[in-house]
Amino acid sequence: MNFISDNAYGVAPEILAAIQAANDGAVAPYGGDPVTARLQARFSELFAREVWVYPVASGTAANGLALAQLTPSYGAIFCHAESHIAVDECAAPEFFSGGAKLFTLGGDAAKLAPVDIEAALSRFRAPPHSPKPATISITQATEYGTVYSPAEIAAIGAIARREGMKLHMDGARFANALAHLNAAPADLTWRAGVDVLSFGATKNGALGAEAVIFFARDDAEDFEFRRKKAGHLVSKMRFISAQLEAYIEQGRWLTWAGRANTLAARMADGFSDVSGAEMAHPVQANALFVWLPDATIARLRKAGAKFYDWRPSTNGRTMARLVVSCMTPQDDVARFLAAARG
C-alpha cells in the first residue's frame, strides 16, 4: 500500500519494451538517432502545430531549463507558494537562471488566480530595483491534485501577453490533467497562451523521460546549448526518446493517467464512509489530500500503508497526502479504505 508518490512505482511494460526495441546497433549519440528525430513530428501532431521537443531525464531539469530559457537572470518568475518549483526543487530555477527571483503567490488549491498575479505585478513597478517580471509558471495538474480549466489558463495567458511575460506550465502530471478534462493537448497549452511546457512521463509509467516543449521557434533558440551546459544532454538519448514515443503512442499516456485518476476518485468516494475523514481539496487528478483522525492515521500505518503527513497533527487530526499511480494495484485502494474504516 504505497501512496507516497506516483514515482514510487516502476516502469510500464510497454515502456520497457520500447527501450529494448531501441537497443539495436550503433546510432549517432546525443540525439542524432532516428527515434529522437521522429519525436519532433510525433509531438507536433499531438499538439496540432509545430513544436520543438527536447528530451531530458528529470522534471527538475525540465522546469529549470525551461524557466532559464525564458527568464533573464534579472527577471522574476511568478508561481504558487506551494508549487514544485518553489518548494521541492532545491531552488533549481534560481540556479539555472543565474539568480532570477521566484516570487510566490497564494491561491486556492495551489492554483494561481489572475487577481493575485495583478497584485504581484503592482509590487514590481520600481525597475531596476525590482526584478523584471518575466515569467508566470503554473502547474497542471497542481501539487494539490487540482486542475486548471482551459479558460483559467487562458486568463493567465492573457495577463502574460499583456505584460510581455512568458507562460510556463509544469506538466509533470500533464496527462492526469488532460485525462480529467478530456481536452485536447493544444487547448491546455498554446491555445491558452502557454509558451513552454515541461512534459512529464516519469510519474505516469516511464523509467525517466521528460521533455521541454516549445510552441514557437524563437522561444527555443539556442536551447540545445543550455541543456548541454547543464549536463542534461544524455549521450544515449534514443532511450529517453523511445520512452516518450511509446508513451504517447496509441493514447497510452491518457489511458494510464485515466486509470490513476479513476482510482483516486474511487478512493475519494470511499472516504465518505470513513469516520472523520474530510477532503482538503477537490480530487481532480491522481492525488488526494484528506484530513484523518490521528487514530485512523495510526491504524493505516500499522496496516502497512505508506503516505506523507502533509500537515502535522492539529486538534486530533492530520492531513494525509495520497498519490495514486497508474500502476497502483486496485486492491491497495480497497485495502487502504478498509484499514481506514477500521
Rank residues 197 and 207 by Cβ distance to a second copy and give the closer one. Answer: 207
* 164 belongs to the binding site for a second copy (CB under 8 A): no
C-alpha to C-alpha distance for 342 and 327, rounded to whole angstroms? 25
Helix (H, G, I), strand (E, B) or coil at 328: coil
Peptide bond into 141 cis (omega under 30): yes
217 binds a second copy (CB under 8 A): no
Residue 319 beta carbon to a second copy: minimum distance, rounded to whole angstroms:
14
Q: Does 121 bind a second copy (CB under 8 A)?
A: no
- 292-321 residues in contact with a second copy (CB under 8 A) are 306, 312
Identify the burial level of 54 via C-beta atoms within 10 angstroms of its C-beta, where 0-12 means exposed, 13-18 middle and 19 or more buried.
buried
Question: Residues 250-289: x/- map of binding to a second copy (CB under 8 A)?
Answer: ----------------------------------------
**120 binds a second copy, rule: CB under 8 A:** no
Nearer to a second copy, 153 or 196 (CB): 196
Q: Which residues contact 59 (CB under 8 A, 6 or more apart)?
A: 84, 170, 172, 198, 200, 202, 203, 210
Measure Cα distances from 170 to 117, 148, 198, 212, 307 in Å: 17, 12, 5, 10, 23
Q: Which of 52, 55, 110, 131 binds a second copy (CB under 8 A)?
A: 131
Q: How many residues does the chain have?
A: 342
Nearer to a second copy, 304 or 342 (CB): 304
248: part of which helix (H) or strand (E)?
A: helix 238-248
Give whichever of 153 and 197 is closer to a second copy, judged by the CB atom: 197
37-66: contacts with a second copy (CB under 8 A): 56-65
